[in-house]
Structure 1
Amino acid sequence: MSVKYCLIRQASPGVKGGGAYKYYARACERKKVSLNQVADMLASRSTLSRADIIANLVGLVDLIPQLLLDNRTVELGELGTFSLNLKSQASDEPRTDGFRLIKSANISFRPSPYLKDAVKFPEYAKSARSAY
């Protein structure tokens, strides 16, 4: 397995008129894998049926938001950790209506060290679609 990449030409960000152009490698030719495809792959590696795996994955997708909204951090072992982060405006002093400062809530995912190590040293292959 190798990660396909393309070189893209991009102007310097924040420079009026674009500034000097440089070339950057970006992952390309990505293909999405659906829940059903993941279930098929997992079923071929285990004794569980495809239906059992789909039921568990769908249950997990339903359960994680509930746990996050219950002020919990969800740690899934070698997969990683899900948590809820709040974005807020600043206030000069404490307020009794502090919830009004909150702009949004976002889900954060931190991969486990195992998951990070698993993709640390991939092989690379230039995409045939790369213009450069």
Structure 2
Amino acid sequence: MSVTYKVTERVDPRDLTLPKKFYARIINGDDVNFEELASIISKVSNLNYGSVVGTLATLIEVIEMQLVHGRQVRLSNLGTFFMTLNSDGVESQEDFRVSNIKNARIRFRPGPRLKRLMRNLDFERTAVLDASTTTAA
């Protein structure tokens, strides 16, 4: 299975003063929404659509509950969901206040199956024209 990419000209976000360079950029297809995912799972398994929807909805709810309790959620070979915090640093533990916490993020660490998928990818370049390089007729 090949991942399709195009080459686009961009600035280096770490140093905007550098000249633009050309970088690979993946061409993403359409999103797969919850209902479509449930439909696909029901077609490739012996589960009916309603059972799949119920199971996935429950999975989402349980993942949320476990993350709020500070637990990592490991989904077998798929990967692990976990939370991280971003906060301002202070000089001592006594000086730390909840107001120092700027945000919480949900992160995902891929498991062995997805890591293997990433190592075995093939890449196919497409000849997609950038809109900024085309001229009006």
Alignment TM-score, normalising by the size of structure 2: 0.84
Q: How do residues 18-33 of structure 1 correspond to structure 2 at under 5 angstroms?
A: 19-33=18-32
- RMSD, aligned CA: 1.9
Letter of the structure 2 residue corresponding to residue 66 of structure 1:
M
In the alignment, structure 1 residue 7 sits paired with structure 2 residue 7: yes
CA distance in 2, matches of 1:102, 1:34: 32
Q: CA deviation at 1:81?
A: 0.6
Structure in which a larger fraction of residues adopt helix: 2
Q: Which runs of 4+ in 1 moved over 3 A?
A: none
Q: How do residues 84-123 of structure 1 correspond to structure 2 at under 5 angstroms?
A: 84-95=83-94, 98-123=97-122
CA distance in 1, matches of 2:89, 2:45: 50
Letter of the structure 2 residue corresponding to residue 2 of structure 1:
S
Change (3 A) 1:7 1:107: same
Is the 2:90–2:96 contact (alpha carbons within 8 Å) kept by the matching residues of 1?
Answer: no
Q: Deviations over 1:51-108 (max 9, x none)?
A: 1111111111122111111121111111111111111110101227532321111111
Number of aligned positions between the proteins = 130
CA distance in 1, matches of 2:22, 2:10: 6
Higher relative contact order (CA 8 A, sep 6+): 1
Change (3 A) 1:9 1:97: closer
Query: Is the partner of 1:60 in helix, strand or coil?
Result: helix
Tell me the residue number matched to 2:62. 63
Unmatched 5+ residue regions in structure 2? none
